[in-house]
Chain A
Amino acid sequence: MDVRKITVAVQGMTCGSCVQAIEQRVGQANGVHCIQVSLEGKSATIIYDPKLQSPESLREAIDDMGFDASLPDPNP
């Protein structure tokens, strides 16, 4: 099975319930195997199936929930 891992920067989370909401909602999305959201790190690390999700679709899923999400710079 093809899996990929990405870390999305998430701004605007201030408490445990924000973290939980994202983990639950994005965790249920098609093609998402595993999601771990860090309040301190202001980020979400997602393991996903690239056939069903893309970095952009995952970013959008978090953005859609009302949090400012951005993908890591491909050319840091």
Chain B
Amino acid sequence: PPAAAMPKHEFSVDMTCEGCSNAVTRVLNKLGGVQFDIDLPNKKVSVDSEHSVETLLETLKKTGKTTTYLGTK
């Protein structure tokens, strides 16, 4: 499917520093098949992916940070 059809999911991740956002980057890259933007000051991660929300949530939670799903953007 065309990339434009993929939903963009927004998550709130309790990141406090560069190390936190780097950790998020690493776990998402490990999962693969994702395009994402990290907004550190606002503690938000928006992910463009065909993975399910559950998969993405589980992946983000691996970092040990409090993570909640905010919905599609």
A: which residues have CB within 8 A of B? 12-15, 17-18, 20-22, 24-25, 64-68
- Contacts of B63 on A, CB cut-off 8 Å? 21, 65-66
State the total of A-B contacts with C-beta under 8 angstroms: 53
Would you call A67 and B26 a contact (CB within 8 A)?
A: yes
B: which residues have CB within 8 A of A? 14, 16-20, 22-27, 30, 62-65
Give the most central of B24, B26, B64: most A CB within 10 Å: B64
Main secondary structure of the interface of B (DSSP, over half): helix
Would you call A18 and B19 a contact (CB within 8 A)?
A: yes
Given known pairs A12-B22, A12-B23, the reply for A65 and B62 (CB within 8 Å) is: yes
- Contacts of B64 on A, CB cut-off 8 Å? 20-22, 24-25, 65
Would you call A21 and B65 a contact (CB within 8 A)?
A: yes
Would you call A67 and B17 a contact (CB within 8 A)?
A: no
- Contacts of A68 on B, CB cut-off 8 Å? 26
- Complex: how many Å from CA A18 to CA B26? 14
